[in-house]
Chain A
Amino acid sequence: MDTGYIDNGFIVDLTHAVKISEIIYELSRTLDMQEAKDKYICLKLGTIDLSQEELTSIKTLIELMESKLACISTSSAQTLESATALNIKVSEFTNEISAPSFGNDTEPKAEVVQALDNIFGEEQPKDDNSIKEIHRDDEFEEPEPSADEEEHIKELRSEPEKLPTLYIRRTVRSGQSISSDGNIVIIGDVNPGAEVIAKGDVTVWGILAGIVHSGSEGNNYTRIRALKLNPVQIRIGEIFARRPDTVNLPFIQKTSEYTPEEAFTHKGSIIIKKIHQEN
């Protein structure tokens, strides 16, 4: 699913959705991010036919998530009719939408779960304990840090450089735990069932298949690097992600060819990318 950016809001592309449950599921995932709070949401819908009730439930969900439904686009006559009846704006998206103001922070999650339960009973798909999957994207272009970046973010970015480093030369096996108030460098593999926890960066010269946590005191700008990144779970700062079930093999696949990989956070997700040679 693509989410685009407009001023003060999001464009959420759900043109592929054919079932209302897909829309609710994707929306609840997308809007459960800090960036989505207090923003206008523009929904791009495709051919899906939505009744007034269904459209209302979508609107309710967005409001529960402390965002606001600004407008929708649709190619279905029925959805168009429902939207018109509900006074929901149907249009192409513009860049001029002003942000709504909201009251104090509440705990939206329980409410949202409740609302979803009400709408779909127990059938609705839930994100498993809200741990997202790790995204693998070798083509991902990381945005350059902007020059006017806030001072504390700059500090977080460079924090690992100022920390001491723990250097380990052996295989870290199941049940073993390595933790440090600085960075950790491991020359060897980290097997499934092992955990590595560092306040700064983690670098593994080998296969990383256990649980790894960098920025353990909350620094989302730390990074994890390994010759092969296949961790059961990655945690960077406050962001957790799990290995997709499709690669949930209990074996480490050893190969002779390695392309080093790097994990970092981007907009609340964890992305793994191969480190290509540059220059």
Chain B
Amino acid sequence: MTGRVIVITSGKGGVGKTTTNANIGTALARAGKKVVMVDTDLGLRNLDLLLGLENRIVYTIVDVVEERCKLKQALVKDKKNPNLCLLAAAQTRDKTAVTEEQLKNICDELKEQFDFVLVDCPAGIEQGFQNAVAGATEAIVVTTPEMSAVRDADRIIGLLEAKEEIKSYKLLINRYRPNMAASKDMMSKDDVVEILSAELLGIIPEDTGIITSTNKGEPIVNDDDSLAGRAYRNVAQRIIGEDVPLIDFEEEAKLSTKIKKFFSKFLNKGKEN
């Protein structure tokens, strides 16, 4: 088996790289793929928290590199999905503990056993970024519809284009607010795509459920009712190669207003009687 190694990166911090990683990974595993997530954010690891796996970590990527354990021993299995594994970052070390070469070797070894190797990249464009990208052949660039995030995404795309190993990159717009985009208070998806001239992989709407799911250590894709969860599942389907249309958030919003109106009629009737 030769799996795909995809790095999830953004340049700017706080746009949702790790959340995206946890959710796409979980969604791919739910779709029956064997997935391993590699956290390369040494010293500031979070992916384990989002997955609720912190208490199961014994060995980290640094232990693998420094040969205190075998790669297989360091893989932490997900609580729910046996197709999903995590290779955690070390919390007490920094980016210099692992080299590009070592990360590439780890990715090469992992892609023999997994369909997907998702590499969670730290913020910034320094050594941590260079490490994370080293083993990847594809990239997902996460951005939010804000000037600063888009600017940083542009910088990252430039760096990715300069890397021979990266064969393709796609754009994921996170924390999208359709209402604000409609009223021109926020950049629309078309604006972002136009500025970055990159292929769009998906749009994830802003969802307060993400905060709850992060605190619970339970990715939101597991919530079948959540719109953000649905958007992430669609993204996973597109990665697998299926043609899933983008969710039309304006239409979704209209729909819910329609439903509200429908019910309010009944409620008002009840009041009149």
Contacts and interface: CB of A to CB of B under 8 A. Distances in A.
A110 B58 CA distance: 19
Interface string B42-66: 0110000100101111100000000
Contact of B92 (A175, A192, A242, A248): A175
B217 A248 contact: yes
Contacts of A175: 43-44, 91-92
A233 interface: yes
A129 B56 contact: yes
Contacts of B57: 233
A250 B55 contact: no
Best-surrounded residue of B55, B58, B91 (most CB of chain A within 10 A) = B55
Interface stretch (B76-84, B101-109, B177-185): B76-84
A120 to B, nearest CB: 12
Contacts of A248: 52, 54-55, 217
A232 B55 contact: yes
Contact of B76 (A129, A176, A232): A129
A245 interface: yes
B98 to A, nearest CB: 16
Contacts of A177: 92
Interface in B257-271: none
Contact of B217 (A122, A126, A242, A250): A250
Mostly, the B contact residues are loop
B215 interface: yes
A128 B56 contact: yes
A122 B82 contact: yes
Interface in B215-256: 215, 217
Contacts of B82: 122, 126
Given A233-B55, A245-B55, A250 B49 contact: yes
Interface residues on chain A, size class: 20 to 34
B75 to A, nearest CB: 8
A232 B79 CA distance: 16
Interface in B152-188: none
B240 to A, nearest CB: 21
Contacts of A129: 56, 58, 76-77
Nearest to B44: A175
A195 B92 contact: yes
Contacts of B79: 128, 245
A249 B247 CA distance: 33
Given A128-B79, A193-B91, A240 B52 contact: no
A158 interface: no
Interface in A233-259: 233, 240, 242-243, 245, 248-250
A126 B76 CA distance: 13
A192 B56 contact: no
A129 B88 CA distance: 14
A250 B215 contact: yes
Contact of A242 (B43, B49, B56): B56
Contacts of B52: 245, 248
A129 B54 CA distance: 13
A176 B93 CA distance: 9
Nearest to A249: B215
A193 B90 CA distance: 10
Interface of B: 43-44, 49, 52, 54-58, 76-77, 79, 82, 91-92, 215, 217
Given A128-B77, A242-B56, A245-B52, 12 more contacts: A128-B56, A128-B79, A129-B76, A175-B43, A176-B92, A193-B91, A195-B91, A242-B55, A245-B79, A248-B55, A248-B217, A249-B215
16 contacts: A126-B77, A128-B76, A128-B77, A129-B56, A129-B77, A176-B92, A177-B92, A192-B54, A194-B91, A232-B54, A233-B58, A245-B52, A245-B55, A248-B52, A250-B49, A250-B217
Interface of A: 122, 126, 128-129, 131, 174-177, 192-195, 232-233, 240, 242-243, 245, 248-250
- State the 4 A-B residue pairs at the shortest beta-carbon distance, nearest first: A242-B55, A177-B92, A243-B55, A232-B55
